[in-house]
Structure 1
Amino acid sequence: MKKRKWIPAFLCAEGCLYLCFLLLDLLDPGSWMSTALKYGGILLCFALSLVRTHNRDSGLMCAALACTALADLFLLVLNTHYLAGVACFCVVQLLYRARLRRRLGGRAWPDVAVRALLTGAALLAVWQLGALNALSLLALFYFVQLAVNAAESLRLGRKGLYFSVGLILFLCCDICVGLHNLAAFLPPDGLSGAIAFAQIGMWLFYLPSQVLLTLSIEMR
């Protein structure tokens, strides 16, 4: 069977998992079945990346999706070891940065400078909210890498469409995660609707982002 023939089956399976866990999240929030379906969708992405890996670029994507699956094992399935989970997501974004550098070329230092400045600004903002600790420090580093990766991916043009949209949806997911986790530090006025949406929005954006990132792996 040609590798391209895996795609319809993959999309059908991911679509079924997606609709089922979204329905469960609405009817029975926090159920173990919803968690199992979500993690199953992530593992399917990793499995397809293994099938499609054939060069250094696809190898970077496969490694990133493996780290994503490990991060979700800590954060979603076990719901513990949060530092390890976020650290895995940091590795994911560093791998995506490496992919972008290979494709875009150019000097590395301006990119590093921008990321350092944005991380410093985010650190200051979270410190003023009184929410700075080891976990939030690591999460800030991760979020800045994701945001810059998403912005830089737009330079890839049409050839990087799946990758760019995947990263943008990934960013939307993590904005929802941030709203959910920082709800206690934010003024409730005017944000209650956004915070309520964030609970569903996290996975509304997340699985599609991982599917698109997986599909961004070039065919042999």
Structure 2
Amino acid sequence: MKPVIKSKQMLFVILQIILYAVFLTLDFMGRSIRFSNYIKFCMIIVCFCYVLFSRKSMDKGILFCLRAALFFTVISDLFILILDYYIYGVSTFIIVQQLYDIRLLLIRSKIKDTTKLFFAYLLHLFIKIGVASVICILLFASGVTLDALLIITTFYFVSLLYNVWMSVITARLNPRCHGNILYAVGMILFLLCDINVGLFNLTGYIALSPTVCDIIETVSGMLMWTFYAPAQALIAISSDFTIRQTEQK
């Protein structure tokens, strides 16, 4: 079953490509960085609006989780990209990943009972907290200074890794659902973005030579949004194909 591209989807894709090309050009040339950041933020708002005004799916819970996740994504990028409040931005990104966890739970298990869903998510949450705690202990034991930002970032990254893994599994189990595939690719790009965010901030925790620091910061600084912008666009547009597949079952 092939996905049908409609005018709304085409306009969304064209607009995202234009904005993507503009900010990449500005970043590559090193000009108007502030203006480039506003373009990036605009792209995230467009993604949220696209999902917000999508048709309601048969499973309202799945669509609600995606809408709420993209809403908190807008808030996160406002904190990080525009206001430079990193600890608040990472904290709201944690909420994003928890919503994606619940969304994947709903897609995979089709749990209808709210209590069962809550306990299934709670189990995932405890596992993620446990893994993040072990990582923080190992970092501390290796001499890395732990601060609030590093601790919550560790938990965020564990949550992201889990969601990437589960989104890929979900897509493989139902390869005919194009929405699941687009979503999985979007989550992989999301992960690649955050790997570069981690590399960019690596110099704050590990002593490296100035030359190596400059190379890492330059390359990773460019790659962050090179991956992040298409990730959010794919996650947003996946809702349309997921809805259509659901309605046709």
TM-score, normalization by structure 2: 0.79
Paired position in structure 1 for 2:114: none
Verify: 1:219 aligned to 2:219, yes or no: no
In 2: Cα distance, 1:133 partner to 1:211 partner: 32
Report the alpha carbon displacement of residue 214 of structure 1 after superposing the two structures with TM: 0.4
In 1: Cα distance, 2:25 partner to 2:127 partner: 40
Verify: 1:200 aligned to 2:202, yes or no: no
Paired position in structure 2 for 1:142: 156
In 2: Cα distance, 1:184 partner to 1:144 partner: 20
In 1: Cα distance, 2:139 partner to 2:55 partner: 39
Verify: 1:85 aligned to 2:89, yes or no: yes
| Sequence identity percentage | 30
Report the alpha carbon displacement of residue 112 of structure 1 after superposing the two structures with TM: 4.1
Q: Deviations over 1:17-71 (max 9, x none)?
A: 1111011111125621101110010010001011115122111111100000011
Verify: 1:130 aligned to 2:144, yes or no: yes
Verify: 1:119 aligned to 2:121, yes or no: no
Does the CA contact (< 8 Å) of 2:136 and 2:151 recur in 1? Answer: yes
In 2: Cα distance, 1:129 partner to 1:4 partner: 54
Verify: 1:33 aligned to 2:38, yes or no: no
Q: Which has the larger radius of gyration?
A: 2
Which residues of structure 1 form unaligned runs of 5+? none
C-alpha root-mean-square deviation of aligned residues, in Å? 2.4
Q: Tell which deviates more after alignment, 129-138 or 180-189.
A: 180-189
Supply the AA of the counterpart residue of 2:188. I
Paired position in structure 2 for 1:104: 108
In 2: Cα distance, 1:30 partner to 1:136 partner: 30
Paired position in structure 1 for 2:186: 166
Distance change in 2, residues 1:125/1:20 (3 Å): farther
In 1: Cα distance, 2:51 partner to 2:101 partner: 18
Report the alpha carbon displacement of residue 118 of structure 1 after superposing the two structures with TM: 2.3
Report the alpha carbon displacement of residue 204 of structure 1 after superposing the two structures with TM: 0.5
Does the CA contact (< 8 Å) of 2:200 and 2:216 recur in 1? Answer: no
TM-score, normalization by structure 1: 0.89
Does the CA contact (< 8 Å) of 1:180 and 1:195 recur in 2? Answer: yes
Paired position in structure 1 for 2:53: 51
Supply the AA of the counterpart residue of 1:122. I
Paired position in structure 2 for 1:65: 70
Q: Tell which deviates more after alignment, 25-34 or 65-74.
A: 25-34
